Structure 1
């Protein structure tokens, strides 16, 4: 979109008419980012695609946290600082990008407010190096200001050629421009959900590819080729896609899945309050009557020889994600929202069965 539609930031604004609209913090705008959201590891092409998505940013706000673990981590300041106000929205965005690159949190807290930092889930808190790298990437991008109301008193920043919106909302008052804490927290929550859901879909596709590779090797030595019945292998065995403490299975599946994905596997009925990426996964061993080909088991003598399916669900519905996903061996994915009853509904699901109420996920959503 041209400069007549926005103020262009980084080295100054270009005045003109600006369109107004709502915040599009949806899954289709979500970018795959660093750390816990990255589920596919391995080949350089995949890593390159991930990095290109990361540069369109939007989760540079899995960034805003640097309150993290020992070893190079930061500690949050004890006293809340006053939020800074700025003469223009461009100045506010530039201050935020600079604060993200600071080694300590004081500057970031002064720009965003302590409430925003405290709202970031523990599982998403990053080390300073990760946050500062994200800030450096933001600093290299041209940004534009989009106004959200007819009075030009609410605005967001869009970065890069893709116009990726930073989930941080600016509001103008008599004191100048400042980040609206409540609106920013809501935007970050919605973006977090979008990122988690998009990455869950990518994870399912990665698992399907890993399963096809797993089946190319006779892992039990009896001449029977089968799919893995679990993501993480049983202790002392190689019956899963990942062995031991996150080490990938040598051979066909090497480097395809990483430890964050394996750590997010939960047996039926088991709860995981804070898995990496916000989603939990379980392999299914059957399909129901609403699946192509009708109801059948994939098992032959307790081995997954006839196919496989997977279910992925948000560990904290409404916070880490909204949709529950099911996928068959062909890579076809369906989604459904169960709301607060997600855990109970998922515990009852033992087969890939896209009955009425499930909606097919289009390929572009992943």
Structure 2
């Protein structure tokens, strides 16, 4: 197995494998020699997990836009909920029987434990810029632990992000319409 040590002053990073994956725990030089900095490693692991969750939330939001398009073509209206009412097809996801056409959105948005979210995020359909469209809002289940940024996506597949802070969950409940106001911290999320 290949590995490379990247030395940066009194800190070193270990890149391993054919893709040079960087070990999240840095090695630091102390008066007693070199040692792994577990506290810095813990912080880096959390940062990476948050980054993965945020990227997964954005990918899920793009899947939502596709699912809304499929739902609209079937029903000539936008879905107002993610999970259908029991026994109905009034949302983007509903359970299917063998041989039945799948729902527009897969079961990943239907957690086995209600309210548990998806990759550290909760999602809710909100009104679009006008009364004829819809958008999707996503916010971290536990700000600073499962995610930092909140996201909105419109029917044109444009993602906006904002750091709503520790009160993300409460602030998300106040958002009922897609209005990514720059004064409120919303900005286009770069792909």
TM bucket by the smaller chain? 0.7 to 0.9
> 2:71 aligned with 1:214, yes or no?
yes
Written as runs of structure 1 = structure 2, the 5 A alignment for 1:149-228 is: 150-151=9-10, 154-159=11-16, 163-173=20-30, 177-218=34-75, 225-228=76-79
TM score, norm. by length of structure 2: 0.84
The equivalent residue for 2:107 is: 258
Contact 1:264 1:281 in 2 (8 A): no
SS at match of 1:276: coil
Written as runs of structure 1 = structure 2, the 5 A alignment for 1:85-124 is: none
The equivalent residue for 2:122 is: 280
User: By percentage of residues, which structure has more strand?
Assistant: 2
From 151, 155, 158, the counterpart of 1:329: 155
> 2:93 aligned with 1:233, yes or no?
no
The equivalent residue for 1:137 is: none
Give me the whole-angstrom Cα distance separating, in 1, the residues matched to 2:101 and 2:88: 12
Contact 2:92 2:103 in 1 (8 A): no
Contact 2:93 2:103 in 1 (8 A): no
Give me the whole-angstrom Cα distance separating, in 1, the residues matched to 2:113 and 2:164: 20
Contact 1:264 1:275 in 2 (8 A): no
Consecutive unaligned residues in structure 1, runs of 5 or more: 1-9, 11-141, 219-224, 267-271, 288-295, 299-306
1:115-152 superposed Cα distances (whole Å, 9 cap, x missing partner)? xxxxxxxxxxxxxxxxxxxxxxxxxxx4322223x14x
1:14-68 superposed Cα distances (whole Å, 9 cap, x missing partner)? xxxxxxxxxxxxxxxxxxxxxxxxxxxxxxxxxxxxxxxxxxxxxxxxxxxxxxx
Contact 1:207 1:257 in 2 (8 A): no
Contact 2:134 2:155 in 1 (8 A): yes
Give me the whole-angstrom Cα distance separating, in 2, the residues matched to 1:264 and 1:196: 18
Contact 2:83 2:92 in 1 (8 A): yes
The equivalent residue for 1:102 is: none
SS at match of 2:92: strand
> 2:187 aligned with 1:359, yes or no?
yes
TM score, norm. by length of structure 1: 0.46
Give me the whole-angstrom Cα distance separating, in 2, the residues matched to 1:308 and 1:355: 17
Kindly indicate whether structure 1 or structure 2 has the higher relative contact order, using CA contacts under 8 Å at least 6 residues apart. 1
Written as runs of structure 1 = structure 2, the 5 A alignment for 1:33-48 is: none
Consecutive unaligned residues in structure 2, runs of 5 or more: none
Give me the whole-angstrom Cα distance separating, in 2, the residues matched to 1:165 and 1:216: 45
The equivalent residue for 1:13 is: none
The equivalent residue for 1:88 is: none
Q: CA deviation at 1:214?
A: 1.8
